[in-house]
Structure 1
Amino acid sequence: METPLWMKTFVTVVDLQSFSRAAEILGMTQSSVSRQISALERHLGVAVLKRTTRSLALTAEGTLFYEAAQKALAAIEEAETSIGRSETLSGVVRITAPLTLAQARLIGFIAEFQRSHPKIQVELKVSDHALNLVADHLDLAVRVGQIGDSSNLVRRVGVTHRVMVAAPAYLAAAGTPRRPVDLRDHNCITYALLSTGTNWHLQGHPPVAVQGNFRADSPDALRAAALSGLGIAVNARWLFEEDLASGRLVELLPDHPPVDMPIHLVMPPTRHVAARVRALSAHLVGAFQRDPLLRSD
C-alpha cells in the first residue's frame, strides 16, 4: 500500500465528511475506503477519526495528520506538474462565499470551470459571515470588503460597485432625497454586517448618519424590504440590477453613489497550494475581471 494513497483517501474522507462519497470520488468501494483508514490508523498507532452513525470528526492526532497530509499531497502534485506528468485535474475544492454573490455570479463562474475540469468536485459553503478557513477545512474564500490583518494569503480580484435604491411607492409617499444630507429624514434600511454601521459612506461627500426601523444581516432581506416600499437600501449593484432595469427600484443620488467594496480571494496560510485550487483561483480571477459589474478599473 502506497503512503500517498493513505493520505489521499484520508483527506478525501475528511473533505467530504463521508466514506461513501469519498469512495465514489476515488473510484473505490466503501469497504476499501474503510480499510484504507483502518490501515492508516494501525500504521500511525492512533485513531484519526471519531466515527458515529451520523458524523465524522477528527481526533487531535487526526487534525495534525490532516494538515500535514494536505501539504504533502500538494507538494507531490506540484512536483508531478513541474515535470509534465500531471493527469487531468481532480479532487475536491472547498470554497466559501457570501450567499448573494454566489447566487448572482460565483456559481456560474464555477460551472464554467467545471465544464473544463469535470473531475474536480466543488463544495460551496455560502455564508455572509467570514468563516475560519483552517478550522472549517476550506481551500478558498471569496470575501467582499476590507481584509484586516491576517496571516491568510489574500489577493484582490474585483470590486463591488454599490448603489442606493428605493421603490417608487416609497418615494411617492416620502419624497426623493436630492442631497446626501436628505437621507437623515428618510427611513433607511441598514445592513447589520456593514463595518461602518449606520454611517453611509458616499463618494465625494462626508459620511452620513442614517436611521430606520428595519435592520437585517442578509442582502436578500434588504432587497426584499426595499421592494416592499419600506425605505432606502444600499448594497451591490448586481443585487439590484434586474429590479433597476424593470423599474421596481429606482437609483438614488447617482452623483454620490456609495463607496465601492473590494472583492478578495483568500486562502489559508500554507507553502503548498494544490494545483486544482490554483486552477480554480486563476479561473475566478479572470471571470471577475471579465464581468463589467465586478472588475476593477
Structure 2
Amino acid sequence: MSAQSALVCRLTAAVSPEELLRLVMEGVPGLRGVALFTQDDDTPVVSIGESCDDAQSVLLDLSDDSEYRLRTVPHVPVSPEVLAVMELRLLYLDTRDTAIRLGNELAALTQAAKTDALTGLPNRHALDLDLDRIDAASHAYAMVFIDLDGFKAINDHYGHALGDSLLKGYGLWLSRVTGPWGRVYRMGGDEYLLLMTDFPGPPEAFEAWAHERLQIPFVDGVSASMGIAWRHEADTVSDVMRLADQRMYTAKSDPENAARLTDRRAAFRREP
C-alpha cells in the first residue's frame, strides 16, 4: 500500500478535525503547519503545528463547493484524493456533532415538558405518562391529592417571592419524606399529588403515615388538606384521581380536620 493510500485510510477513521489535521501533518512530507478554515471566517477552526498566517502559507479549497479551506505551511502539494477524503470526513463529523447537539436539545426539551419550572418536580404531563405505564403493568398504587390551605393569604401578604419559596420548600419536603416509596408531582398552583407505589405496609398504615408526615410543619397559618384514593377503588385512572380530589375537598371543608391538623403540627414541633 502506498503512503498516500495509507493516509487516506487513516483519514477515514479520524474522530475529530484535530485528528484529521494531525494525520495530514504526519502523512504529507514537508508540512510544518496546517489550519482548517470555513469559507466565511478567517479564524481557523483548528490548527496544528506552525502558524499559517505568514507569507509561506497556501490556501486550498477542499473542493469547488466545500464549506472548508485548508491553509498549509509551506506550500506543499496535497493530492485531490486526500482533500476529497478530508471533506467527506468533515461532513460526517459535522453531521454527527449536529445529531448529538439536536439529540441533547430534544432530551432537554422533553425533560422540561415533564418538569414544573418553579419547583423542579415532575408536572401533570409526567404524571400522565407514569400513570399510563403503571396502569398498563397492573401495579397497585395510591394517589394522595394535596392542597395547601392558607397559602393565598401568605402569598398576598408577604409577596410572591415568599410564596414561591414556600411552594419549593414544601415540594422538597414531600420528596424527602416520600423517598423511594413513590413520586411527588406539582399539579399547579398550591396543589400536589403523590403517586405511592411501594409503601412498606397496608393501606391503613399508609393513611396514618400520610396524614402525619405529609403535613406542612414549618409555616404558621398554612396547612395541607389531603385526600387518598387507591387503584382498586375505581375503574379507571381518571376515576381514582377524581376520588382523591373529592376526598381532599371533603377534608378541606371539615372543621374537625382543621383541629386535627393543629394538633399534629404541635406534636411535630415537640419531637426532638
* TM-score interval (norm. to shorter): under 0.3
Q: Which one has a bigger Cα radius of gyration?
A: 2
Q: Under a length normalisation based on structure 2, what TM-score does the superposition of the two structures give? A: 0.23
Decide which structure has greater helix share: 2
More relative contact order in 1 or in 2 (CA 8 Å, sep 6+)?
1
